[in-house]
C-alpha cells in the first residue's frame, strides 16, 4: 500500500476511534444523567401516591412540580438519537430501552398529575351538606379524563417491559415505577368516571332518583348476592336525601317475569330471574338487572329510578373506613371491624327474618346518611371503594343513555363489563346459591385454567376447573332455617347447593362438563356472543368436589387467559397456566 494511502487509513482509523470514544462518552453522560434523575424520581412517584392516599393536596402539588422538572430532563436525555442507536446493541439494548420507557412514562405521569389535583379540588371544595360541587366537577371533567388516559397508557407501556431480561438495578427500577403507576392508574380511572357521571347523577341538571340495591353475598347470585334491601335517594345539586326504603318482603312473587328475559338467560340461570326480586342480579348483564329492578321499584312506588347502584356489606366496610363508626337505632356502633360479622354472620343465628332485614336496612341507611351529609372526605370515599369496585362488589346502571354508555365500558358496568375489561381471553365464573339459606360463608373455592390440547385448526381445548369445598361444622344442621335453608329446595339440611356457570371468551365453543369425575348434562347457551355452561353441585360438610368445564377457545385468547368471578365471602384461589405459548413452539 502506498505511503500516502497508509497515512489516510491511519487518519481514518484514528478519527473513527475518536468518534467512538466521543459517542461513548456522550452516551455515558446521558446514561448518568438519566440514572441520576430516575434515582430521585422513583421515590417521588411513590410519595405522590402517599399524598393522594392522605388527601394532602399541598404535598401532592409540591411532589408533582418536582417530578415534572426531573422527568422532563430524564425523558429528554433518554430521547437522544445516539441513545436510540445504542438500543440496538445486543445485551445492553434492552436495558437502555427499559430506562428510556421508564423516563418517558414518569414524564407522562408528572404531566398528568394536575388532573389528579383537579379531582381532589373538585371533590373537596364544596358547600356544606353537599357530596360534591357538581358544577366544578363537570368543569374539570376534560382534564381529569386526559390524566386518566395518560396513566392508562403509562401502565400499558411499563407492563410491556420484560423485567426478567433486564439487569438487576434496571429491573428493580422498572418494578418500582410499575407498582406506583399500577396503583395510581385505577384511581385516576375511577376519578375520570366520577367526573363524567357524578355531575348529572347527583342532580347537577335537575333532581335525580338513585336506587341503592344492597346485595347479600351470604346467599350468592351472579352479581354478588340476593338483593334483599333497597334504598331510594333523591339527588339535587350534589345533595342526597333519603326518599324510601324497602326490603324483599314488600315485593310479590310472580308467576311470570316482571320484564322479558332472553331465552338464553333462562336456559343458564333458570326461570326465576325476573320473578323474584332477590334474583335481580342472577343475570351477568347488569343493564338487564337495572331494567328488572326499575320495574320492581316502579310497581312498588310508582317511581322509576334514574340510576341503580348495587353494593354489598364489603362496600359498607370500605366506606366505614372513611366515615368512622355509625350508630344503629339499637344504639350499637357499626364500624369497619365488626360490620361483616354484624350483617353477614350473627343475624342468621340470633335474629328472626324481619329483624335481620331491619338490621340490614338500618346499617345501609346509617352509612349512606353519613356519606351523603357532606362531612366526609369525598376523595377518601373514591379511594375506599377502589377495591370493592375492582372485586365486582359495586355495579351501576343508568336510565340515561349517555351515562350508561360510559358506565358499560367500565368495571362498574357489572359482571359482563368486568369480563370485557379483563381482556379478550377472559373467562367468568358465576355462582348462584341453590340452598335457599345463608351458607356461602362456609364455601371455599379454587379456580384454575389448564391447556388440554393445542389443535392444528387454531382452537385450543381449555379446561376451567372449579374446586369447591364446605368447611361447615358437622352440626351445621342445628342452625336456624335462615342459615341452612331447611331442606326446602332439594338440598340437604347443612349442605351447600350451588349452580356454577362458566362463560368463555367470544368465539369459543362449548365442550364437555365433568362433575365429580363423570360427564354432566350441563345447560349450555351462547349469551352475548359468549359460550356458557351451567352445572350443579351439592356439598356436605367437609366435602370437596370439582367441576371441569371444557371450551374450544381461539388460540390467541387461550394464550392470554384471565379469570373473573362472582365476589365471594372467602377469597377464591385462582391460577392460570401458560397456554399454548408456554407448551408448544409458535
pTM beyond 0.85: no
Q: What averages of pLDDT result for each successive group of 10 residues across the chain (586 residues)?
A: 45 34 37 48 67 67 66 52 49 61 70 66 69 78 80 81 67 71 73 81 91 94 93 90 89 94 95 95 96 96 96 94 92 92 86 82 86 76 85 95 89 92 94 94 97 93 97 91 86 95 96 94 92 96 96 92 96 91 50
Query: Strands 573-576 and 496-506: what pairing?
Result: unpaired
174 vs 339: CA distance, rounded Å: 39
Question: 227 forms bridges with which residues in the sheet?
Answer: 215
Task: Output the pLDDT for position 175.
Answer: 74
170 vs 68: CA distance, rounded Å: 21
Question: 233 forms bridges with which residues in the sheet?
Answer: 210, 242
534 vs 502: CA distance, rounded Å: 7
Question: 489, 497, 572: which is closest to 540 by C-alpha?
Answer: 497
* Average pLDDT for the chain: 82
Task: Output the pLDDT for position 531.
Answer: 96
Contact status, residue 229 vs residue 311, Cβ threshold 8 Å: no
- What is the chain's alpha carbon radius of gyration, rounded to the nearest angstrom? 28
Q: How many CA atoms lie within 13 A of 256 on its CB side?
A: 2
Coil, strand or helix at 414: coil
188 vs 60: CA distance, rounded Å: 14
Task: Output the pLDDT for position 82.
Answer: 43
Contact status, residue 237 vs residue 127, Cβ threshold 8 Å: no
Residues in the chain: 586
Give, for 67, the enclosing helix (H) or strand (E).
helix 57-78
Q: Which whole-number Å values give the CA distances from 217 to 268, 281, 418, in the listed order?
A: 20, 11, 18
Cα dihedral 225→231→233→238 (10° resolution): -50
Question: 461 forms bridges with which residues in the sheet?
Answer: 453, 552
Task: Output the pLDDT for position 19.
Answer: 31
Question: 384, 362, 263: which is closest to 317 by C-alpha?
Answer: 384
266 vs 282: CA distance, rounded Å: 10
Question: 371 forms bridges with which residues in the sheet?
Answer: none
φ/ψ of residue 90, rounded to 5: -60, 140
Coil, strand or helix at 249: helix
Task: Output the pLDDT for position 25.
Answer: 37
Amino acid at each position: 500500500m502506498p505511503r500516502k494511502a497508509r497515512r489516510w487509513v491511519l487518519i481514518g482509523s484514528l478519527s473513527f476511534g475518536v468518534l467512538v470514544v466521543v459517542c461513548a462518552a456522550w452516551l455515558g453522560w446521558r446514561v448518568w444523567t438519566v440514572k441520576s434523575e430516575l434515582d430521585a424520581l422513583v421515590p417521588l412517584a411513590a410519595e405522590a401516591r402517599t399524598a393522594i392516599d392522605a388527601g394532602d393536596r399541598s404535598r401532592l402539588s409540591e411532589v408533582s412540580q418536582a417530578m415534572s422538572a426531573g422527568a422532563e430532563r430524564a425523558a429528554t436525555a433518554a430521547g437522544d438519537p445516539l441513545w436510540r442507536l445504542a438500543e440496538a446493541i445486543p445485551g445492553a439494548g434492552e436495558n437502555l430501552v427499559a430506562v428510556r420507557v421508564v423516563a418517558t412514562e414518569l414524564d407522562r405521569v408528572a404531566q398528568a398529575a394536575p388532573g389528579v389535583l383537579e379531582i381532589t379540588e373538585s371533590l373537596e371544595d364544596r358547600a356544606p351538606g353537599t357530596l360534591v360541587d357538581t358544577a366544578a366537577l363537570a368543569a374539570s371533567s376534560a382534564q381529569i379524563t386526559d390524566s386518566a388516559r395518560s396513566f392508562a397508557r403509562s401502565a400499558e407501556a411499563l407492563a410491556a417491559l420484560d423485567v426478567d431480561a433486564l439487569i438487576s438495578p434496571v429491573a428493580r427500577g422498572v418494578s418500582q415505577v410499575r407498582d406506583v403507576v399500577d396503583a395510581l392508574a385505577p384511581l385516576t380511572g375511577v376519578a375520570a368516571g366520577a367526573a363524567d357521571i357524578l355531575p348529572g347523577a347527583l342532580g347537577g341538571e335537575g333532581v335525580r332518583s338513585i336506587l341503592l340495591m344492597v346485595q347479600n353475598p351470604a346467599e350468592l347470585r351472579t352479581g354478588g348476592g340476593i338483593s334483599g334491601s333497597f334504598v331510594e335517594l333523591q339527588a339535587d345539586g350534589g345533595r342526597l336525601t333519603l326518599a324510601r326504603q324497602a326490603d324483599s318482603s314488600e315485593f310479590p312473587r310472580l308467576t311470570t317475569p316482571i320484564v322479558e328475559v332472553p331465552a338464553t338467560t333462562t336456559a343458564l340461570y333458570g326461570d326465576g330471574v325476573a320473578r323474584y326480586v332477590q334474583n335481580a342480579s342472577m343475570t351477568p348483564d347488569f343493564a338487564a338487572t337495572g331494567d328488572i329492578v326499575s320495574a320492581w321499584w316502579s310497581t312498588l312506588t310508582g317511581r322509576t329510578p334514574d340510576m341503580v347502584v348495587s353494593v354489598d356489606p364489603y362496600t359498607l366496610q370500605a366506606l366505614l373506613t372513611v366515615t368512622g363508626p355509625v350508630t344503629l337505632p339499637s344504639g350499637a356502633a357499626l364500624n369497619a371491624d365488626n360490620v361483616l360479622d354484624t350483617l353477614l354472620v350473627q343475624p342468621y343465628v340470633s335474629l328472626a327474618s324481619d329483624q335481620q332485614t331491619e338490621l340490614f336496612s338500618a346499617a345501609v341507611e346509617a352509612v349512606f346518611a353519613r356519606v351523603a351529609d357532606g362531612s366526609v372526605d369525598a376523595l377518601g370515599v373514591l379511594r375506599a371503594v377502589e377495591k370493592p369496585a375492582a372485586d365486582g362488589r359495586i355495579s351501576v346502571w343508568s336510565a340515561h343513555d349517555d351515562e350508561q354508555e360510559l358506565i358499560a365500558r367500565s368495571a362498574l358496568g357489572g359482571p359482563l363489563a368486568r369480563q370485557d375489561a379483563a381482556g379478550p381471553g377472559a373467562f367468568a365464573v358465576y355462582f348462584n346459591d341453590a340452598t335457599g339459606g345463608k351458607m356461602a360463608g362456609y364455601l371455599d373455592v379454587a379456580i384454575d385454567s389448564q391447556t388440554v390440547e393445542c389443535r392444528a385448526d387454531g382452537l385450543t381445548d381449555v379446561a376451567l376447573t372449579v374446586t369447591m369445598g364446605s368447611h361447615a361444622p358437622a352440626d351445621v344442621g342445628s342452625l336456624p332455617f335462615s342459615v341452612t335453608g331447611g331442606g326446602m329446595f332439594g338440598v340437604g339440611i347443612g349442605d351447600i347447593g350451588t349452580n356454577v356457570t362458566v362463560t368463555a371468551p367470544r368465539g369459543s365453543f362449548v365442550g364437555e362438563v365433568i362433575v365429580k369425575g363423570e360427564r354432566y348434562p350441563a345447560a349450555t347457551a351462547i349469551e352475548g356472543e359468549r359460550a356458557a355452561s351451567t352445572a350443579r353441585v351439592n356439598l356436605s360438610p367437609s366435602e370437596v368436589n370439582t367441576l371441569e368445564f371444557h371450551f374450544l377457545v381461539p388460540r390467541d385468547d387461550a394464550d392470554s387467559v384471565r379469570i373473573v368471578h362472582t365476589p365471594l365471602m372467602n377469597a377464591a384461589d385462582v391460577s392460570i397456566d401458560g397456554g399454548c405459548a408456554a407448551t408448544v413452539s409458535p
